[in-house]
Amino acid sequence: MSDSATPDVTADDAARALADIDLVTARVRQSRIYLLTSSALILWGPLIALGYAVTQFWPSKAMLIWPVCHLTGLALTTRLALRTPGERSRRNTLTVVSGLLILIAFGLVWSVVLGRMGPREMSAFWPMLFMLAYTVAGLWLGRVFVALGLGISALALAGYFWAGTWFDLYMAVINGGGLLLCGLWMRRA
């Protein structure tokens, strides 16, 4: 070890080194967030697409498929959180799962109890609720989350007005496919 050797370090050198450290630290943290989020998006994308596809072709099964999709997604996300290496990271991921539960509870209160929405409104409301969370989280986590949140929300709104009777199939592609594609992109980023 060469701890005892003391290189000449000026204040400028030190400032540059600290800036370098900050940059690398931020990059590593972002890459870990992307990796974890990408796994969650890749897992939720197909579940959401399945939910919308069933709603489109077998509307009477919608009340059955959505709880199944959400519970499966929550169970798999919890498993993912518990397998995250590192105590602090695991705790943070479990906090995200708690956030998901709060969003689902909020969504149920408004879509079923207070809002009394129709099937089409429900199909637009749920993705926009989750995308709102992505957009807000993106203010801290990075622009890609904001882009994902706003992009899917805008497309959901457009579909609500213009996709006609194929709205749920459109949402399967836009929402399920959007989450999956974004997850795959984050994995490579």
Cα 122 to Cα 17, 40, 71, 177, distances in angstroms:
52, 23, 18, 19
SS3 content of the chain, % helix, strand, coil (to 5): 90, 0, 10
7 binds another protein (CB under 8 A): yes
Measured CA to CA in angstroms, residue 100 lies from 80, 83, 95, 105, 188 at distances of 14, 18, 9, 9, 25
* Range 131-136 contact pairs with CB under 8 angstroms and sequence separation of 24 or more: 131/156, 133/99, 133/103
Interaction between residue 188 and another protein (CB under 8 A) = no
> Applying CB under 8 A, does 21 fall inside the site for another protein?
yes
User: Per-residue string for binding with another protein, 88-127, x by CB under 8 A?
Assistant: xx--------------------------------------
**Does 20 contact another protein by CB under 8 A?**
yes
Q: Judged by CB, which is closer to another protein: 21, or 105?
A: 21
Q: How far is the CB of 94 from another protein (least distance, A)?
A: 15
The least CB distance from residue 33 to another protein, in Å, is 12
> Which positions lie near another protein, rule CB under 8 A?
1-11, 13-15, 17-18, 20-21, 24-25, 27-29, 31-32, 85-89
